[in-house]
Amino acid sequence: MSLDSSFAFVICKFLLMLIPSNVPSIDVDASDVLDDGHPKENSFIYIPSRRQTDKVQCYEPATMKYLGYFPALKPDEVKERVAQVRKSQKVWAKSSFKQRRQFLRVLLKYIIEHQELICEISSRDTGKTMVDASLGEIMTTCEKITWLLSEGERWLKPEYRSSGRSMLHKKSKVEFHPLGVVGAIVSWNYPFHNLFNPVLAAVFSGNGIVVKVSEYASWSGCFYVRILQTALAAVGAPENLVEVITGFAETGEALVSSVDKIIFVGSPGVGRMIMRKAADTLIPVTLELGGKDPFIVCEDVDVAHVAQVAVRAALQSSGQNCAGAERFYVHKDIYASFVAAVVKIVKSVSAGPPQLGKYDMGAICMQDHSERLQSLINDALDKGAEIVGGGNVRDISEGAVDQYFPPTVIVNVNHQMKLMQEEAFGPIMPIMKFSTDEEAVMLANDSKYGLGCAVFSGSQKRARSIASQLNCGVAAINDFASNYMCQSLPFGGVKDSGFGRFAGIEGLRACCLVKSVVEDRWWPLIKTKIPKPIQYPVAENCFEFQQSLVEALYGVNVWDRLRALVNVLKMLTEQNSTFNSKRSD
């Protein structure tokens, strides 16, 4: 067991101790997904294209072993699923936070006790290694659950606000009500966490949810939803509160048209289409559309340490189509030593079937993606770049089943190359040098994306200063991707990386109808009354009264405010005297 997996195991064991003893265990049928992980004779297939049919075919990208298929749901079928969830949500909306927390504890207990099963399924469906599945799938999900357990209710309870000067006699608060049915369309790179992430926030805030899982990770998604549904049943939740649907673009479009909010994780192009579709029903949209994250290294760092972090950032989740850091900017004084350190690490990385447990990297899970990665590298080479570590896609002869892209270190790059502008989503490290902090900021901001960044310096103040100038939604100081393990923080980007946030308080409340409520503070002793000068029919001095009232409340000079207050009281007294006189007549 590697150091990383040992650390994850210890952390999860500690979390298990935090689960109360009265939390029931659940039994999820996994008989149809269990496998010894070794290819069997005649078990390989090739799928020449991903053309849309009435079936979503699933296979292991590392071995091309066939896993089965799921239906590509038609629009009417999607709408029927959403309608079923909507009925269940009306019941769940009345559930207590105690019941919702119990649901989370049941889930947490199952996840910790079945880590190997969950990671194996993720590994088989995406090609990532077991340790990467644990780091990216298990730990992040456990952290989200524990954050919701400790703080979720607090941030969904009514929040009282200041009523201001003119409404001192009022109580003001914000209430958070369920939206109804949330829809989520999620990517394949973290099949377990990408499913659980929107489900946990939606369900804990009283919603139902329908998730369209990627056609590249439908096999795992359709098993993982069983865990959620079984945990919900264990706490007495209504059936059909959480559903997973499978299919292609038509299925996703139907989901957007049927729900009360949509969360999308994917590409900018598809994100724009979803926005246009959501405009038909004017539902809120959260978009996380990938990135081209810069990784900035100043000259005053521990080169060996930062090189290790950089390689992990570039090869995150085995490099199998997972966006990590994609642009590396290194100070010219340590450029050569940093590149040498990175190349040494990359040469030690091995790629192969992740189920064998002896490889650092798994397979690329989209068949045609290796060709796209190679085209980005070829464009860079044509424009003067040089490969110093890694290489080309290995030759794939007829009948071969492997589809690995080796980690590749490339230097002499510039921003005229597609590799520095387009999202690669693969294990490539383009490294560029800079001379000043101002230049590093300029280069990092020269991108249509703005998801995250990482800045490394021996001076935390310096690193913080650089990060503060970068136009992105997530920043890590002297670390990479640690933000996502802090589930109290919102996650999302700007520009072509999308907008809106999931995770944190912002992501939890984004699943709610945010309602402002004002009521009398001392009801029924003091009730709101319209001052007589502005009651209908208005008095002759109504504007003078209103003008004095504004100055009494908001004037910048205390003496002017006192004088205006005297005028207000005087006019009220005169108005009352006139009113009483008319009544006596």
Burial category of 212 from C-beta neighbours within 10 Å (exposed 0-12, middle 13-18, buried 19 and up):
buried
What does DSSP say about strands 474-477 and 512-520: parallel, antiparallel, or unpaired? Answer: unpaired
Cα end-to-end distance, the chain, whole Å: 97
- Give φ, ψ of 216 to 5 degrees: -90, 0
E-strand stretches of 368-471: 386-389, 408-411, 428-434, 449-450, 452-456
Pick from 327, 309, 311: nearest CA to 319: 311
d(CA 504, CA 202) in angstroms, rounded, equals 13
Q: Pick the catalytic residue: 288, 326, 423, 551?
A: 288
**Block residue for tokens 């009494």:** 552
Q: What distance in Å separates the CA atoms of residue 482 and residue 143, rounded to the nearest whole number?
A: 12
In 3-state terms the chain splits into helix, strand, coil percentages (rounded to 5) of 45, 20, 35
Q: In this structure, what is the dihedral angle of CA atoms 416, 419, 420, 426, given to the nearest 10 degrees?
A: 180
482: left (phi > 0), else alpha (psi -120 to 50), else beta? alpha
501 contacts 490 by C-beta, under 8 angstroms: yes
Rounded (10°) CA dihedral 508, 512, 518, 521: -50
Residues 6+ apart with CB under 8 A from 395: none
Is 288 one of the annotated active-site residues of the chain? yes
Sequence letter at residue 37: G
Burial class, 1, CB count within 10 angstroms (exposed 0-12 / middle 13-18 / buried 19+): exposed
Q: Which of 204, 207, 246, 205 is nearest to 225 (CA)?
A: 246
Phi, then psi, of 100 in degrees rounded to 5: -65, -40
Residues in the chain: 585
Active site residues: 288
